[in-house]
Structure 1
Amino acid sequence: MVGKLTIQDIARLAGVSKATVSRVLNAKPDVDPATRERILQIMQEQGFVPNVAASSLAGGRSRLIGVVIPPLTWPLITEILRGVSEVVEQSSYELLLYSVAHDLGDYEKNKGTVIDRILASHLASGLLAVYPGSSIPHLTKLYDQGFPVVIIDDRETPTHVPWVSADNQTGAAAATRYLLQLGHRRIAFIQGPLEYEVSLKRYQGFCEALKEAGLTPDPELVQQGNFMAKSGLPGAKQFFTMEKRPTAIFAGNDQMAYDVLEDAEAHGVRIPGDISLIGFDDIPSSAYTRPALTSVRQPFYEMGRRATELLLSQLDAPRPVPTSYYPAILPLAMQNTSANYLQLPTELIVRASCTSPR
């Protein structure tokens, strides 16, 4: 046959009704085994690929979950997706993965465009958004209109949308207490972007632990970075060239800690012999730096699992929803719950980059 085949074409070739073909596609048990085998054989011979969107609309909702993620090159994404996929594999749903390009300052704009494209395709029954940033108001409006949404994020203040994050403040306080227990009193901090909630929480945890020890945070020992590669270099240089250097540096994330390691070599500073170093995130490469980096581990795998479980709980709890925002796109079911904000614990992973001060 010429052109793209439809369910109607398969029904005509098999000598059955369109409804029978549809029941075979949806694995319904009420089809004669011989008829089922004939239909499946014709599909294989003709290279027939079902139209998922059409099938989902006919059935009222699809069995697909949309997942919007930052670029796959981000080191934390792999563990989050591992948690997501393990939960989805045990359900009746499949994943639609959308990775948003990080290009020329268009990242935030692209995320909103991708979300709209997912909805307009009629494919996804729910949406898991990983670090969506400025798209959160858009996602909140979707959730308020009845579309199942779960957010994994630590950069914006949580809204009433189901939300999963890590306890950044407690994790930063634990890391600082560890340095204090080793005997450090002059501890420097490289902060992330001030507009991010996560940066403020980690700095608050740092200050909290210092104050518990009777120490006043020293503004001269706080430098600004942006969590990206090379952004920790100016702060590292400032600390290494001080007349009275700090005995330890707490970098706001592992990437900036790597910058400290790089600049330490350039300035002839030994880590941990001269200055101890600790990071945050515990991305996989941190176990293989020289020296291996002590870091606060975020539970990325568990975040992916718990977020997916939250989304599935919305999809499996039916209630009527309005359709004024995206008419004919919203699913027919969603859970009506109060805010679900899951803040998961972090873990301090001690390696070779920290020791007692000389």
Structure 2
Amino acid sequence: MTVPPQTQPVKPSAADPVEEFLKRRKKATINDVAALARVSKKTVSRIINNSPSVREETREAVNAIIARIGFRPDPQARGLAFRRSFLLGLIYDNPNAQYIVNMQMGILDKVRGSGIELVVHPCDKTSDSFLEEIRDFVELQRLSGVILLPPIAENRQLIQVLEELAVPFVRITARHGDDNSPPIKTSQVVSRDRMGCQQAADHLVELGHRRIGFIEGPHTYASAKERRQGFAEGLKAHGLDIDPAVTAEGAYSFESGFEAGQKILSQPDRPTAIFASNDEMAIGAYKAALQMGLSVPGDLSIIGFDDSPLASRIYPALTTVRLPIRDMGRTAAETLIDQDNHRKHTMIFDAALVVRDSTAPAPKTFKP
């Protein structure tokens, strides 16, 4: 009788520890990542915070574990560990909603996936508690950086508060300083608004327009002053001046553009063109022209400023000065996240005219 050879029992294959973890359906922690990757908690922390002092193969292995188990760092815990939060603050008092949205999108382009979050804080610069409100906001959130939008980016008292709090910040502004005071020496993203407004004036004059209306922004805004100055310089190069009779101040809003358009177009010798200091007011001027039975651009050419998404969607498409707002927001965030906060950086963006369908040669005859 032949005795069959004795077979060795088959050992079950080792279970994947990550799969076993996932079956437990528990919220992943940094300790879980460290245990599954067989590294220290300190190593995981360094990888989360993009420290260069980690070997690349270790970084890749830990990131693979993080992706598989869906680990998300706790911003509050990170803030306690590093004695600061991982939050950027965007502070503004600006009536132009589309400008705010575009700026946010640019900032989010940079912070997305970085572990840093954006906190948006609208405020009222005319409030008696304006400065204390922002001080409380920055201290409560323990912000790692702040981005200031115009017009509060020009507020020297606010800048002093942020310097006292020792929080890094970047100003978005239309110029380095104003005409009657020294420049504010901080990190800043500067747009050359004058350049675009000069181009707008050139374009209208080259089309044969001589009587040109102007809807300017609020006089308290540095951007409004820059745009007026640029437009005036552009007209002066052709021997023309801004005419007070066909000039009205707006508030960078559609409603104010509509009211200013009505005022300008009601003049006995109405203009054949209007330059508005932003797109919202330019579109308001469209409505005023329509209500008065005027066609754009047959009877009236209109130019805006910003190149907001609406500019290419309305009919006729709006000729406007393009300001790279989204790029400016991205650059401001990069300055706070990537660069040495002890240095003062100035990043400059050019404005440029985008010609569409709302401008045409001046009519030879028109109804006053």
TM-score normalised by the chain length of structure 1: 0.74
Aligned-partner Cα distance in 2 for 1:108–1:252: 29
- The aligned residue for residue 279 of structure 2 is 254
Which consecutive unaligned segments of at least 5 residues does structure 2 have?
1-26, 48-52
In structure 2, relative to structure 1, the CA distance for the partners of 1:48 and 1:167 (3 Å cut) is closer
Confirm or deny: 8 A CA contact 2:174 2:226 kept in the other structure: no
- Which of 315, 334, 352 is equivalent to 1:290? 315
The answer on whether the counterparts of 2:254 and 2:281 sit within 8 Å (CA) in structure 1 is: yes
Letter in 2 for 1:67: G
Structure 1 residues 131 and 224 mapped into 2: Cα distance closer, same or farther (>3 Å)? closer
* CA contact 1:191–1:199 (8 Å) conserved in 2: yes
Other-structure match for 1:66: 88
CA contact (8 A) 1:69 1:129 kept: yes
Give how far 1:73 is off.
8.3
Seen in structure 2, the aligned counterparts of structure 1 residues 101 and 195 have a Cα distance that, compared at 3 Å, is closer
- For the 8 Å contact 2:249–2:260, the answer to whether it is kept is yes
- Quick check: 2:91–2:123 contact (8 Å CA) kept in 1? no
Q: How far apart are residue 185 of structure 1 and its match?
A: 0.7
1:232-247 correspondence to structure 2 within 5 Å: 232-247=257-272
8 Å contact kept, 2:214–2:276: yes
Cross-structure match for 1:87: 110
Q: What do the CA deviations read for 1:220-243 (whole angstroms, capped 9, x no partner)?
A: 121111111211223212222222
> Could you report, residue by residue, the CA deviation over 1:56-110 in whole angstroms, capped at 9, with x for unpaired residues?
3334555x24131559982123433333233335xx843322223478x888957
Q: Is the deviation greater in 107-116 or in 136-145? A: 107-116
Which of 180, 204, 208 is equivalent to 2:233? 208
Q: Deviations over 1:256-295 (max 9, x none)?
A: 1111111111110111111111111110011111111100
Structure 1 outlier segments of 4+, above 6 Å: 105-108
* Structure (1 or 2) with the larger CA radius of gyration: 2
- Where does structure 1 lack aligned partners over 5 or more consecutive residues? 318-333
Question: What secondary structure sits across from 1:354 in the alignment?
Answer: coil
Counterpart of 2:119, as a letter, is: Y
Partner-residue secondary structure (3-state), 1:272: coil
- Give, in whole Å, the separation in 1 of the partners of 2:252 and 2:246: 18
Secondary structure of residue in 2 paired with 1:249: strand
Specify the alignment match of 1:330 in structure 2: none
> How many pairs were matched up?
318
Alpha-carbon distance between aligned partners in 1 of 2:96 and 2:224, rounded to the nearest angstrom: 22
| One-letter identity of the residue aligned with 1:252 | S
Q: 1:76 to 1:163 in 2, by over 3 A?
A: same
**CA 1:94/1:154 → structure 2, altered by over 3 Å: closer, same or farther?**
farther
Pairing partner for 2:197 from 160, 164, 172: 172
User: In structure 1, what residue type is equivalent to 2:353?
Assistant: L
For the Cα contact (< 8 Å) 2:306–2:322, is it kept in 1?
Answer: yes
Whole-Å separation in 1 of the counterparts to 2:129 and 2:314: 35
Aligned to 1:351: 356
Q: Pairwise mapping of residues 57-206 of structure 1 onto structure 2 (< 5 A)?
A: 57-59=80-82, 64-70=86-92, 74-89=97-112, 93-101=114-122, 113=133, 116-122=136-142, 124-131=143-150, 133=152, 137-143=157-163, 146-154=166-174, 157=178, 159-206=184-231
**Residues 1:113 and 1:263: Cα distance change in structure 2 (over 3 Å):** same
Q: Is the 8 A contact 2:197 2:231 kept in 1?
A: yes
Q: Which has the higher contact order (CA 8 A, sep 6+)?
A: 1
Distance 1:231 1:348 in 2: 23
